[in-house]
Amino acid sequence: MTTEASSGCPLHSAVEPKLDFGGTTPYEDYVHASTLHELQRPVTDEPLEMSFLVVTQVMELYFGLLVFDLRHARDRLRADDVREGVAALRRCTGHLKALRAAWLPIARMTPREFNAFRDALGEGSGFQSAAYRHVEFLLGEKSASMLVPHRSVPAQHAELSQALGEPGVYDAALALLARRGHSVPDEVLERDLTQTYNPHPAVEEVWAKIYATGAGEAVRLGEALTDVAEEFTGWRHDHLMATRRAMGTKPGTGGSAGVAWLEKRARRDVFPELWTARSHV
């Protein structure tokens, strides 16, 4: 009797992995792992500084990934491709969940542990992250003053300046709803895109009517946006709690009010009418 193994089935044959590629491995060529591992340069001997540095760099990579997929979601919604826009928003929800999990290695630092390397940060602060600022702009939280820290890095400043005046994800979603016959007011559709999005009662009514039907792609869009908003707010809260635990109410390394600043930001909802409309369904 002939077995699958003896017949040469590739699923059962004992093939050894290729070990010699005559140079770098294809994995290295694609991932650039050695470059990534050369980017951690602690300046103290405190072991937790390495955790802090790696986690911060991982978050930066996820911020960049969020920018990529939030822009894709926005552009697909502008092209009336709700299915792909929702799929991109679902990916963003996963990215934000991973971002929240990234806090775990450093979220339980005591004040003494954080103070052991805090001075090494100088005036460095996550507040200065260009990629995070781009995420906020795409979520509708905009302010021209937030461009100031990036003036000395022309490429970052140019990218953020462009993002400041472009529609965010929510702008694209509301414009799509208007094209589908929903009563989104012109003053919302034609708002100054360089300003933070502020809630409007007519938009709240649009979402309340959509949710009252309980079905359709508009509801799926609303839920995908809500998932992103919930996880983003959760990330902000995780940041707040990690900061409170490590440094109490002391000023932040970048000169901000520290916990007071984070508390203020954590209270803000992105895509606000998606939350308030639920009270009217």
pLDDT in tens, 203-229: 999 999 999 998 799 999 999 999 999
pLDDT at residue 11 tops 60: no
How far is C-alpha 243 from the chain's CA centre?
A: 19
Among the listed residues 231, 208, 210, the one whose alpha carbon sits nearest the alpha carbon of residue 220? 210
Distance separating alpha carbons of residues 128 and 100, to the nearest angstrom: 19
On the question of pLDDT at 274 being above 50, the answer is yes
Asked whether 253 and 118 are in contact (CB, 8 A), the reply is yes
Please give the average per-residue pLDDT across 27-43, as a whole number: 94
Residue 121 confidence (pLDDT) above 90? no
Distance of CA 89 to the CA centre of its chain: 11
Sequence ranges of the binding site? 118, 239, 253
Query: Binding site for heme: which residues?
Result: 239
pLDDT grade for 261, boundaries at 50, 70 and 90:
confident
- Residue-wise pLDDT tens digits, 151-186: 999 999 999 999 999 999 999 999 999 999 999 999
Answer yes or no: are the C-beta atoms of 128 and 256 closer than 8 Å: no
Asked whether the predicted pLDDT for residue 202 surpasses 90, the reply is: yes
Residue 6: the pLDDT is 47
Residues at the binding site for substrate are: 118, 253
Task: Give the model's confidence band at 34: pLDDT under 50 very low, under 70 low, under 90 confident, else very high.
Answer: very high
> Which two tokens mark 178?
């208007």
The closest of 163, 177, 278 to 229, measured between CA atoms, is: 278
Domains in the chain, please, with CATH? 46-117+126-248+255-280 (1.20.58.480)
Residue 4's pLDDT band, with cuts at 50, 70 and 90, is very low
